[in-house]
Structure 1
């Protein structure tokens, strides 16, 4: 998400940067491009107008900080305004009650049921005892879907499939949660293809009967500006405490994310960033703003690494890298570590220096998950001895490895050449580290 918007904003700032200085005429041209980019991304017109007005006032009125160029200061101003537009700061859930009740509302197809399970999995990771329930009395498939998702994440699901009163199911689920000492109850409600009075009335009645601590409106990020109008209608008729955006990893233009806080006043609390149950995370306005401007997102990258990579394993791998004892078996383990963190292109977007749209386009063809899978297949087709000592791999061995991995001898040669070059580079880094140590300095070696 945001790729098209990010490209246009970065391009506009780049044109200003080429001028070397920022005068009112140059700034107006750049802001006009940014304004058009935001409108094309389906951002609410009033939100866009306020955004551009605030940037112009701050950019023309700001004194350039010593040691910082005018363009760098402009980037800082745009970044701060993006953060403000997206919601200023991450808003945690209110989980002070026991059990805390979270009610999910929204249209049919917005992803409420999947979001219920994703949120349950996230809270379970945080040590919470979670109970799920569905009050969708119109679609038996919705209850069945939640039941299957609950089994998948090992979270219990309370269902009353024959009950025709949605509010009563919610009440009964709350009684069970209180009786059995659950920390959180998540209630998945029914949706419709469009807003109607009956749906809003039912959601309001459920809310009045169970008094939820959080009412989260779930919206598909691909529905565009219309999602903002729907969110406003739900807030006015039912009331909500926050928003969950699903499919934020899609090619949606970004209008919902940039509009919804300004229109409803309610923060985006979570984002669905993929189809897997684990592809769900808190929404951080500052991190999203940094990604839009091509500044990367190191904090999220580190958090992903900490979730899936054992610290001792990482340090051991680093030692092998620097000692020159790094083998193809170790290389395979490193690939597995990276793949556990998520799609490679998503990771690259978080790395400063590689996350600009220009750089991403250059890397797009060079790096993808399919190539990583192919490399893994080649290494898997090698014998343990070949992985430990790649120098023994002759022509006949290459042909056997290529056949076993479904690749070509050319692919095998390319991998071996790249690996040899990487080992050579690691030896050079080790020598530099020793030289720095003698001089009393340190040679930083970041491990990912």
Structure 2
């Protein structure tokens, strides 16, 4: 395979880079900002929006004009749905036929199993995504309208935060963020539902719709895994965070419960927060790092190594300790190729985030825990941050080299570390000659 051959992985990477560069140029236009920003800050913001991360080095509400905020919103939508899925839908509307190469590329970018039914999948997916975002925007508008006398402002806030929540982006244009709403039950629930739906994955959403209509008799093993372990992680995160927030006497009981629930939902990849994360203990921050690292379901708007990868790793360990030679879940065995892929993703992700965090602590002379928190947040497309005194992300004070490392990390996390590595190195041909087996002591 030639080093300059445009493989599917390289095309996906190039598509994200192209969108980021175009977004950076648009954010640098004079009518996009109220004040001049540097090229690096524009690039950082465009990358954070396109990778639906949410880390910010400038204040979004006070820096960007309505046009600049619209550019960020479009980048979030394109990045969340996926550039390939977004453009393919409009090609389908124009009755353009997709070649086999186009279908393979689209399936790879959307984490869709195979190419059978891919066009129908896209046709169903995009309207459903827009419908969910529209419903979320409507309900958010109703509650924002009570706080903002200008209906246009309330409508814009509703649309922006509905899109940002469903795409797990974590961007907010509210002057004070969601801090004032930490005790507002409807706002917390609406955002949490949007976050969870976006994190399930498009394939799971489609299968649930077909199952509800009776067009699918039983849910697939993939969907069962995503639904079951999403609920378990949400519940476990809520319990562990509640054990700390319940001791916060400065908040009401309702606020403490909502903070624990909302941050359990948001931590897996959304990036919204209703309290300063520095209020949490180191133990809770480390647990949030674990949630961020695991992430959400494949083929959705979230990041991380994905729930399915974490489950497969756990099952491999459990099977070995149980003396079983097969990895089984829900009466279905998991293939050796899937196991190898999961181990590779976990190993590369753990090694990369650890290396970058240690490198940043040396370059920026920062404490390890907040630096690791920021690194995993960037890699997992989350956007949560322990922050700086100006209310921006922790990385806002990084040097240009440090910010570039975070930019690369955000891009790698969104494309997928395995796809990113394959895009750089390519995929060699497997030899048909099988060497003799070696005995290695472990």
* TM norm structure 2: 0.23
- Higher relative contact order, structure no. (Cα contacts within 8 Å, ≥ 6 residues apart): 2
Q: Which has the higher strand share?
A: 1
Higher Rg: 1
Q: Which has the higher helix share?
A: 2
